[in-house]
Each structure stands twice: as C-alpha cells, then as structure tokens.
Amino acid sequence: MELNLQPLSTTCFVSGQPFTEGARVASFLVRDPQSPEILRYDVLESAMGDFQPGNGTVVCRWVHPYKPRRAGENPDRALKLTTENLFLTLADPAAEATPETTRLVLFLALMLERKRILRPRGRTADGLKNRYEHARTKQVYELPANELSPEFFVQVQEQLSVLVGEPKAPSV
C-alpha cells in the first residue's frame, strides 16, 4: 500500500500561525470524495476543535511534537507513505493515538509482521501489550494486545476503504 501525501506543514491549517519546535500538532489524514487523493492537514492542538475537514472524511489523526525539517533533509522522500512509514508515524511513542489510529496501527503491525519488517517480542510483564521490534531500526513498539475479532476486521475494512477507496467491482 502506498499513498502520496504532503509533508508536515510549517503552519497551522486553522489559524495560519507558524509551528514552533516542540509545539503539539495534530495531523489529520482526510479522504476527499471528489479526488482519489488523501489530504494531510496539520493543526495546532489548541486549534483542533476548530478544524473542519470540509466534505472529506477523517481517516485518522494523531498528535505529535513539531520538529522542523533539518537542512539537507529530502522532503520528497517523506511524500511516499508506505505501510512501513505509516506504521512508524502512527506508532511513534511521542504521538497520542485515538481508537481509530490504534486500530489502524494494530492492522499495519499484522501486515508488517508477515513481511518480517516487525518481529514479535512477546508481551509486556502485565500482559496488556504485545511488543514488536522494527527489524531495521531495532526500536521496540508496545501495542495493545486486543482481541482480533471479526468486528475488529470489519472496522479496519471500513477505515481502509475510506483511506484507499472502495474496491472496484469485477468486470463481467
């Protein structure tokens, strides 16, 4: 799964105020019904209540501290959002997850485990979270040990259909 997205903005979509290093920013992925594109909106956490996605549907959102781009950093590289870097963005310990984001992260973890990009490392001592190690960076992520029920997959399917569009009917 690959999506092309805009890089992190330097100003708040709602207020137009520039982000400062460490400012808490809410990032929204929005599916525009008029276009096949997924749009990214970055909003100061304090202005999050005033954000309106227009006719679009919010697929997921996460809150994270703002880090300005470093000199020489390639912004085009961040434009291609793969399953792996979507997982890394949403599972970042600095990001605050919503139930929708958590559900998407759990599903992405399943996909990446199959591709051997994430390695299962057992459960936490309290048994409430599964631990995964990212093969390339060796970073360990702790994700809720939720029951993967049929309802979970129905909700993920609805979320993914908004994110990547409805599947096309087979032509007869």
Radius of gyration of the chain (CA): 17
The pLDDT tens digits of the residues spanning 131-165 come to: 999 988 899 999 888 777 788 777 777 776 656 55
In whole angstroms, what is the distance from residue 73 CA to residue 14 CA? 26
First-to-last alpha carbon distance for the chain, in angstroms, is 26
Amino acid identity of 165? G
The pLDDT tens digits of the residues spanning 23-67 come to: 999 988 888 777 777 788 999 999 999 999 888 888 888 888 888
The pLDDT tens digits of the residues spanning 9-19 come to: 899 999 999 99
Residues 6+ apart with CB under 8 A from 5: 29, 38, 39, 40, 79, 81
Nearest to 147 by CA among 120, 121, 122, 128: 128
Q: With H, G, I as helix, E, B as strand and everything else as coil, classify residue 23.
A: coil
Q: For residues 69-92, give the mean pLDDT.
A: 66
Provide the β-strand partners of residue 2: 82
Q: With H, G, I as helix, E, B as strand and everything else as coil, classify residue 52.
A: coil
In whole angstroms, what is the distance from residue 163 CA to residue 78 CA? 18
